[in-house]
Amino acid sequence: MMVAMTGVVLLAQLAAVVLAALALWSIRHELSEKATTRLAWMVTPALAIVVAAVLLIVSPGKRYELWVAAIAAGLAIGAVAGALMKVNQDVGQQLLRVPRTWDGAAAAALLLLLALARVVTSYLIVRESGRFGVLGAAAAFLAAYLAARYVIARVYKVPRAIHLDMTRGVNPNRTLIA
């Protein structure tokens, strides 16, 4: 029974690594300044939430108060980051574009590192966990950051964004206005 449970946990952790890698790949539009659909914008925070949930579930330390504090801090900081983003939109094609931003990609990259760290520390390094739940809390912080950043940008910034004619996957090389 214990071997089967360990196999399930390993599969969950490996799935978290794959999903975190997909989250990092899905935010490439922010680094390349290319116009993308509203649905594509939603993929990164959705994947980040799933990765954080998996990492919290498989966490050997269950510190719920730390996790709640990390989520609250991530939501607050992500909301500020979302409010500060400059967004342009193409209303007819429902495309969005932001100037090159590093914070979202950095958060997704850190989430991937955390998922990899969970696999490495659980199966490749022989050490006893401190059972503090810090890795899970960090993942929850990053997921909350990405989610709040998306929601505030989508709800607060996009309706106020100016219209520019855009083509999906293309950088129109125009200056973005707040």
pLDDT single digits (tens) 8-50: 888 888 999 999 999 999 999 888 888 888 888 899 999 999 9
Mean pLDDT calculated for residue range 83-88: 87
Q: Identify whether the C-beta of residue 109 lies closer than 8 Å to the C-beta of residue 38.
A: no
pTM greater than 0.75 (yes/no): yes
